[in-house]
Structures are given as structure tokens and as C-alpha cells.
Structure 1
Amino acid sequence: MSMFMWGPLVISDKLNVTINSYSLSQEFSIIYVDNPVGTGFSYTNDSNGYCKDQQTIAQNLYEFIQQFYIVFDDYRSNDLYIGGQSYAGKYVPSFGHYLIQMSHISKLNFKGILVGNGWTDPINQISYDKTLLSLGLIDENEAKEVKQLQQNIKNCTKSKDYRKAFEWEEQLLTSIEKPSYLTNTTGYQQFYDIHQSEDIKGFINVDQYLTQKSVRNAIHVGDVVYNLSSSVVMKYMEEDIYKTAEPNLTAIIDSGSKVLLFTGNFDIIVGIESTNGLLFNKNWKYYNDYNKAKRNIWRVNANDTQIAGYEKSFDNFSHVIVRNAGHCSMLDQPRATLDMANRFIKSIPFGQ
């Protein structure tokens, strides 16, 4: 999926392939990984091959990157950044922290991470009542019901009954078998972008394109099924969903590696309120300095009339709000997203 958001290709509603004018591959060499095993075209024939926790995922990704550098040794000296969005709010910090732990062996030039609308610290990030009420998608009575369902999730999380916490979440938000409370209340079929109440076409287009026989033959995947999402993987990962990866994120920040969190301001599921919940409950050493820092107005070009968003940073940590973007800023605001990544990696100030 990320290859068609961050990458060089775009899939139209008619399933035609065009060039992405704002691909990150214009500026950087990028590797795309179907993760965890069982998603995308990745697969295993052994039930033990599926991941159940972030430590296993980090170890698998570490093994992958080591094998990559064995084959493509010319790239080993390059700066290495890890990026992802949504649930990669756990994958990316976990992998990044593992790279730091293994740095004495791997000798990789790990520099930092980029995470968009990341689900990292669930107990502090779940805040649908405030978000939906402020957007007018629920009223005050419905907000009370949402708040109670959220509290059920938090109570289970505190008692480490993570599977039960996920069951409450399905009732509230993500049920596949029947409409969730929020779907029935708001009429929305997805909660990634306030602008669309139906499923997002960008996701559907990629799924349909990659299941075409001609495409499958061209990329040599044989009979392997493409899984945009996998109920099998979800079953193995149920216990992980409400566990926190916040200590891994904090460890990366405290190590001095660069960290960028970015948030589309029209996301519902992991939006501004959710990201603030993560930030306001941080224990990293420069948090107070970051909190006092001045926020910058960000334009892609200084003479642009439209604002791209806002950036706030201190030392090696930055948080960017991408204006007029939902859960996937690279789909909604590709020009701004490319500029954001370019500024972060090349250390170009956002206020210029």
C-alpha cells in the first residue's frame, strides 16, 4: 500500500497507473516492506510464522534489513530512516529502538524515524468522544455513550486484559461482522477522513489493481493472495493492539536520533486530539522544552498563499500538522508531504 502513497506510482479510479509527481523516491531511495507477515503479498505456511508482538516484528524487520545489505552492500553507508503510518506508530518505534540496541553488531547508519497519524500509546490516544463531538458528528448524549465505551477499553487496558479491550473497540469502532456503534450513530463507513463518509477510494483502487491477473503475473507473485488487511494476522495480533509502544518511542528520542510525528488535521481515528494524548503523556528528557517551543507556520514555498500546516520542534523531535489531510497525508496532500519529509531529513527549517 505505501508504495502507491509514498512511492512513484498512482492508481486511478479506472485502475490506470500514472506517475506520482510528488513521490519521495524523487529525493530518496526507498524500500517497501509488507509487514507483518501475512499482509500484502507476504506469507507463511507455518502458524509459528505469524507475529504476536512488537518484539517479534522488530526482530523480523532487523533480519530483513540485514539480508538486504548483504545483497546491496553499496547502500550500507547511506543514512537510514524508517517511516510508516497508522499502526506503524508501533512498528516503526519498535524497529528503530531494536536497531539502536543492535547498533554494536549491525553497524548501520540509523538516523531516525517518521510516523504519520501513529497508533503508539492507545490508553492515552483514544479520544473519539471529543473529536467527534467537536466535528459535529455526534451530539452530547452520544458523546457520553462513546466516552463510556472508551472507559471500558481503558479499564481493560489498565488491567492488561488486552483481548477484551479490543472486543470493546470492535463494538465502538471497528467491527467487521456488524456495524459498530459509531457507524450506526454517524453513518460513516470509515473514520480516516472527515470529508468522506464512504470507504476511501485510494485504498480500494490499490486492492483491486493488485488482484488483477495481469498485474500479479507482471510482479511474479504467483498464487499468493494480496491482503490489504488480514483477519488471520489480526487474530494473532489481538493482544498487541492495546499494548503501548511509547517506551520505544521515548528511547529513540532520548538516544538523539531524529523523530518526526505528523498528523493530518482531518483524521478521526488517530487525529490531532489522539496525537496530543500521546505527546502530553511523554517522559522524554526535553518534553518541557518542546512544550514551550514556538510553533511555526509552514508553507511549501514562501510565496504560497495557502498554508501547508504547522510545525513545532525542539532538538531532535518535531511534530507537524498537515493541513487539509486525513489519516493518509500522502494521499490527500502529496506536495506538502514530500516537502515535509525533505525538510525533516535534510534539516531544512519549516519556518522558511
Structure 2
Amino acid sequence: MFYFFFESRGNQTDPVVIWLTGGPGCGSELALFYENGPFHITSNLSLSLNDFGWDKVSNIIFVDQPTGTGFSYSSDDRDIRSDEEGVSNDLYSFLQAFFKEHPQFVKNDFFITGESYAGHYIPALASRIHQANQKNEGIHINMKGFAIGNGLTNPAIQYKAYPDYALNAKLIQQADYDMLQQKVSFCEQATKPCGNQSNAKDSCDKAYNVCGEIFNDILAIAGDINYYDIRKQCEGLMCYDFSNVETFLNQDPVKKALGVGDIEYVSCSTTVYQAMSADWMRNLADGIPSLLDLGIKVLVYAGEYDLICNWLGNWRWVDELVWSGQKQYAAAKNGSFMVDGKDFGLQKGFGPLSFLKVYNAGHLVPMDQPKPSLEMISRWTKGLPL
């Protein structure tokens, strides 16, 4: 597994944070160079310092995962993962090797972060780490919490929210909304046999196809919008032009410096994406309540203009979590997320659970709102209120 590790610009005792990019199959370098890493790639393919990189408040790891993503590779096709058990086991093994190589960071607070499909990866890894810690397996990882940004975590709830979000955002009309309700009903029925079971591949594949029609219909009605940021138009395969990262990382001097040999860097792997298709509709929120009840901190945040993993669907699955603080969380008042005297979001929370809707941001919150996102992660990892 290939990774970048950047020690904190502040203090070595700052938390260790691992960042997981979604896809599934997209390299962590997208976040590193366009979002919250210490550097941005300039138009002439040089590097410039990011004043709002999360390495200002943490020791941060960007890892290419699952295997087959970015510069992470295997010569054995059996290492291409198709479910969260395989993904989380590999990530746990990676972290064991990391802390063995960097023992000076073992006692630091540890947080898991990421976005998009990492809404699956993150809860799975958190549960895997907790199980290992309970069994005294390997090096103890001092996990304090995890943060999911614009994630896909509970698809049954989130797919149902698509028409509501689209109608509120004026992407569709009431007649379109009414038409989509039948497909929402079909989606609800299709997701039940899938659930969070790893042996329900056929059911999960069916749910993926049935529920996907809701999203595809909205796009057909809305036209050529960027479904990661509805304020913009979609440009290219990923709706953004991230070509500089591939050009930069595929330069021979860069590859030599990174020690990656002849591997061609591709931003997002279709092989990994297709291998994980049966995992897509599984509910990864199921494992979160037990972690909350143990005091593991959970932050779910979402940019308001993202359609594909929109804030409304995330708000709803968080609200429906059945845990010891559910009633108190539901009763908590909404507050403002203030940075330098300006309101950058709506937040609510109780105990270890927090939710943040980030204003003027799409799917990639650290790219769209770099300073507020740095302030968010700084306050949250330090135990300060948002």
C-alpha cells in the first residue's frame, strides 16, 4: 500500500489523522493536492504551500486504498477487494506496519477521516480497530473518533432523500418528484435483502441498479449539472478537471523520487470501482451506535451544494441512529458554525455525535471552504465545540 505521511507543522504530539478518499478506487492524491494536503499543484506543475492543509494541526496520512487504487498495487488479483471486511483488514494491517515504522506516534490521539465512499470505509475501519484493541491484537491504536465528509453510509435512507433534495434545490419540479416516488418505493424494497450482509451479493447488485435509477433520472431532468456541486456544470469524466495530478505524478523524476517504479498513476481505478459494486448499497451505519456508546467521537459533515452525497440524506441517517443519546441529539438545538465572526454552517450535536452542514461548499468541502474546514478539524480533534 502506497501512502504519503506529513508530520504536523505544529507539534509532533498533534493527533495522527488518516485520510481515506472515496470512489471507490480514487487515489488519496486528489485530496492531498486539491483539498487538505500541505501542497497544491500549480498550472506549471510545480508545488505551492497550502495555507490550510490539515497538517497544520495534525500528523496526516494519505493512503491509496483499496489495493489497486493510485500507486497501491498487487500482482495477485485476489488482493482486489469486494467488501468492507477485506478493505478494513488491509487498512488495519497497514496501520500496524505504519506504527511499527513510526513508534513515536503510537500514543498520539488517532482519528479516521475521509469523504464520499469513505462513508463505507471509515465506520468499517473504526470497528476493526476497536475489535483489535479489545482483543489486545497488535499495536494498540489510540482511536478517539472518526469524521465522514459528504459520505455514502446508509444508502437506503440517502437514496430516498434524493428527490427531496432535488426538489428543494429546484433541480426537478413537483411532477418529477411525484413520478420518482414509485422508484423510491422500489429502492426501499430492494435494499432490505442487502442490508449490511457480506454474503448478499445478488441482492446488493439488484439494489444498486434499482436505486441508481432515482439518481440517474434526476440527472436526466436537471441536465448537465455537476452532481458534486450543483452550482456548476459537469466537465469531463469526474465533473472536475483533475488532470494535473495525473500529469504531475506520472513524470519520471516524480516517480523516481516516490519509489513507485513504472506504475502508471490513474486518479480513479475502474477495476476497484467495479469490484466494490456489491458493497455499494450496504448499510455501514449499523456499527456506529456501539462506538458512540463507548465515547468514540463521530463527526458527519456535508457541503450544502453536493447532490450525490447530499447533506439532507446525511442529516437523516445521523438523526435515525439508535444509540443511548438519540433522544438528546434529536432535541439539541441547531447552532451556527462561526469562523472569524462569519457563519459558515449549521451544526448540532450531543455527546460524541456532531453534524455540520457547510455553507457554500459542494462534495469537496476542504477544497471549497479551506479555512473553515481546517478550523472544523482543529476544533473537533481538540474536543472543542464546533
TM over 0.5, yes or no?
yes
Does residue 163 in structure 1 map to residue 220 in structure 2? no
CA distance in 2, matches of 1:181, 1:211: 37
- Report how far residue 212 of structure 1 moved: 4.0
AA of the residue aligned to 1:135 = A
CA distance in 1, matches of 2:57, 2:100: 24
Q: In structure 2, what is the equivalent of residue 129 of structure 1? A: 163
Q: In structure 2, what is the equivalent of residue 54 of structure 1? A: 84
Does residue 271 in structure 1 map to residue 330 in structure 2? no
AA of the residue aligned to 1:48 = R
- Report how far residue 208 of structure 1 moved: 4.0
AA of the residue aligned to 1:348 = L
CA distance in 2, matches of 1:190, 1:165: 24
Normalising by structure 2, report the TM-score.
Answer: 0.83
- Report how far residue 62 of structure 1 moved: 0.6
Does residue 45 in structure 1 map to residue 78 in structure 2? no
Q: 1:209 aligns with which of 234, 248, 263?
A: 248
AA of the residue aligned to 1:17 = L
Q: In structure 2, what is the equivalent of residue 2 of structure 1? A: 31
| Preserved contact between residue 202 and residue 331 of structure 1 (Cα < 8 Å) | no
- Report how far residue 65 of structure 1 moved: 0.4
Using the TM superposition, name which of 37-46 and 326-335 deviates more. Answer: 37-46
- Report how far residue 101 of structure 1 moved: 0.8
> Unpaired segments of 5 or more residues in structure 1?
174-179
Q: 1:337 aligns with which of 373, 380, 384?
A: 373
CA distance in 2, matches of 1:73, 1:87: 30
Aligned length, in residue pairs: 341
Q: 1:295 aligns with which of 334, 339, 347?
A: 334
Does residue 140 in structure 1 map to residue 182 in structure 2? no
Q: CA RMSD in A?
A: 1.9
Q: Report the CA distance shift for 1:288/1:237 in structure 2 as closer, same or farther (over 3 A).
A: same
AA of the residue aligned to 1:166 = Y
| Preserved contact between residue 301 and residue 311 of structure 2 (Cα < 8 Å) | no
Q: 1:319 aligns with which of 322, 340, 355?
A: 355
Residues 91-106 of structure 1 correspond to what in structure 2 (within 5 A)? 91-103=121-133, 104-105=136-137, 106=139
Does residue 82 in structure 1 map to residue 124 in structure 2? no
Q: In structure 1, what is the equivalent of residue 101 of structure 2? A: 71
Q: Report the CA distance shift for 1:204/1:277 in structure 2 as closer, same or farther (over 3 A).
A: farther
AA of the residue aligned to 1:146 = L
CA distance in 1, matches of 2:226, 2:185: 22
- Report how far residue 3 of structure 1 moved: 1.6
Structure 1 or 2: larger strand share?
2
AA of the residue aligned to 1:244 = N
**What secondary structure, in the 3-state scheme, does the structure 2 residue paired with 1:298 have?**
strand
| Preserved contact between residue 115 and residue 149 of structure 2 (Cα < 8 Å) | yes
Structure 1 or 2: larger helix share?
1
Q: In structure 2, what is the equivalent of residue 177 of structure 1? A: none
AA of the residue aligned to 2:61 = I
Q: 2:269 aligns with which of 230, 234, 237?
A: 230
Residues 13-24 of structure 1 correspond to what in structure 2 (within 5 A)? 13=43, 15-24=45-54
CA distance in 1, matches of 2:231, 2:87: 33
CA distance in 1, matches of 2:222, 2:251: 34
Using the TM superposition, name which of 163-172 and 82-91 deviates more. Answer: 163-172
CA distance in 2, matches of 1:17, 1:204: 15
Q: In structure 2, what is the equivalent of residue 307 of structure 1? A: 343
Q: In structure 1, what is the equivalent of residue 149 of structure 2? A: 116
| Preserved contact between residue 171 and residue 218 of structure 2 (Cα < 8 Å) | no
| Preserved contact between residue 228 and residue 363 of structure 2 (Cα < 8 Å) | yes
| Preserved contact between residue 162 and residue 214 of structure 2 (Cα < 8 Å) | no
Q: List, as ranges, runs of 4+ consecutive aligned residues in structure 1 with deviation greater than 6 Å.
A: none
